[in-house]
Amino acid sequence: MHNESRSESYAAAGVDITAGYKAVELMKKHIARTRNEGCLDDVGGFGGCFGLNVLGMEEPVLVSGTDGCGTKVKMAILMDKHDTIGVDAVAMCVNDIICCGARPLFFLDYIACGKNVPEKIAAIVGGVAEGCVQSGAALIGGETAEHPGMMPVEEYDLAGFAVGIVDKKKILDNSKMAEGDVVIALASSGVHSNGFSLCRKVFDIDNNPDSLYVSNEKLGGKCIAETLLTPTKIYVKSVLALLEKVDVKGISHITGGGFYENIPRSIPDGLCAKINKSAVKVLPIFDLIMETGNIPERDMYNTYNMGVGMSIVVPASDVDEALEILKAHGEDAYVIGEIVQCDETKIILE
């Protein structure tokens, strides 16, 4: 199909368009894993088409989210391991839109690279596809752009966006939140995709990368690099199952800004999330970051998820059922606090 398409002049300038064609061929097997009933065409056209099924919905609302992986990409490049960073790109988007109660429909990615190495690009997209499978979204398109001169040949950046759907009457509305409601934590898989600039400074990654590969007892024998590269956990399917059975009052995805920025986003004025720090199952990597970098505890809770990837507010009467559902879907779910009246702040950690 692309036998006639080759520009020697463009290749001499640093862009090999035939590498892009090869990358597309290599990634098709990954994309095929994500196909669902909404997919209408194959990858390779100018736009991704998706058939929207709104049967059973009174007022369907589309919910979108976009994000990247930040400087976590640096870890993937340092380790020359590119098959999981795509999970992070999907997770950062779908975990956001599920906070509205929306079911992800499809995802598109964007990869900018210094040099298009088809096998590397296919590995990245393989991770994206895995994230889509975990969230039930279809990977219906994307873009790979070769940017010689903009970044070194071995580097790349990855971002994407997701679109989901929810019936308007089922959009999560925190106006029903009340004093006495309970805050449930869903455990994270690690650092997820935020705070990596601080991680790089604390562990002196740019100047001393070899130290990342030493086995660390505090991390259960894993090295720092392996631990930091652990993919972001995707909560979509467990949260969707919860929404079918329980009156959820609010959901927060704990990303950049940690507890202090994200939990208040789902709390209405006049109420506050009172979090019991002793209940939080802090992961060893966060203790190591805090100790190595001499980071104040408040800064840690204002930067990282600290072991809580998502918080969910439910009525006290529904706590047992909520925990049962979440645990049945593989979540380490537990109570970390309650909703109280407070006009001065929306979160208290004590």
pLDDT at 25: 85
Give the predicted TM-score (pTM) of the model.
0.93
The pLDDT of residue 1? 46
Report strand pairing: 347-349 vs 138-146: unpaired
Q: What is the pLDDT of residues 189-227, one digit of tens each?
A: 999 999 999 999 999 988 888 888 989 999 999 999 999
- Give me 75's structure tokens: 């870890």
Nearest CA to 346 among 315, 307, 311, 318?
311
Q: What is the pLDDT of residue 11?
A: 63
Pairwise CA distance, residues 277 & 301, whole Å: 10
Over pLDDT 90: what percentage of the chain?
79
Residue 6: how many CB atoms within 10 A of its CB? 12
Report the alpha-carbon distance of residue 221 to residue 120 in Å, rounded: 28
Average pLDDT over residues 104-130: 96
Query: Is the pLDDT reported for residue 12 higher than 50?
Result: yes
What integer is the mean pLDDT of 297-317?
A: 98
Element (H, E) at 244: helix 236-245
Write out the H or E segment, with its range, that includes residue 125: helix 118-135
> Among candidates 235, 259, 244, which has minimal Cα distance to 98?
235
CA distance 116 to 256: 30
In whole angstroms, what is the distance from residue 34 CA to residue 162 CA? 13
Given this model, what pLDDT does residue 342 score?
92
Question: Do 304 and 289 touch, CB atoms closer than 8 A?
Answer: yes
Residue 3 in this model has a pLDDT that exceeds 90: no
The 10s digit of each residue's pLDDT in 24-80 is 788 788 888 988 888 887 655 778 889 898 988 999 999 999 999 999 999 999 999
User: Looking at per-residue confidence, does 29 or 264 come out higher?
Assistant: 264
Whole-number average pLDDT of the chain: 92
Flag whether pLDDT at 259 surpasses 50: yes
Q: Please give the share of the chain, as a percent, with pLDDT higher than 70.
A: 94
Tell the burial category of 285 from Cβ atoms under 10 Å away from its Cβ (0-12, 13-18, 19+): buried
Task: Determine which of 9-13, 69-73, 192-196, 230-234 has the lowest per-residue pLDDT on average.
Answer: 9-13
Spatial separation of the C-alpha atoms in residues 43 and 24, rounded to whole Å: 8
Q: Is the per-residue pLDDT at 251 higher than 50? A: yes
Distance in angstroms (rounded) separating the CA atoms of residues 162 and 89: 10
Task: Supply the DSSP symbol for 77.
Answer: H
| Position 285 pLDDT exceeds 80 | yes
Query: Residue 264: is its pLDDT beyond 70?
Result: yes
Measured distance CA(1)–CA(45) in Å, rounded = 13
Residues 163 and 106: beta-carbon distance below 8 Å? yes
pLDDT digits (tens, 9 = 90+) for 155-194: 999 999 999 999 999 999 899 999 999 999 999 999 999 9
**What angle do the packed helices 118-135 and 85-97 form, to 10 degrees?**
30
Q: How confident is the model at residue 300 (pLDDT cuts 50, 70, 90)?
A: very high
Cβ count within 10 A of residue 151 = 14
With CA atoms as reference, report the closest residue to 233 among 254, 217, 250, 216. Answer: 254
Is the confidence at residue 83, as pLDDT, over 50?
A: yes
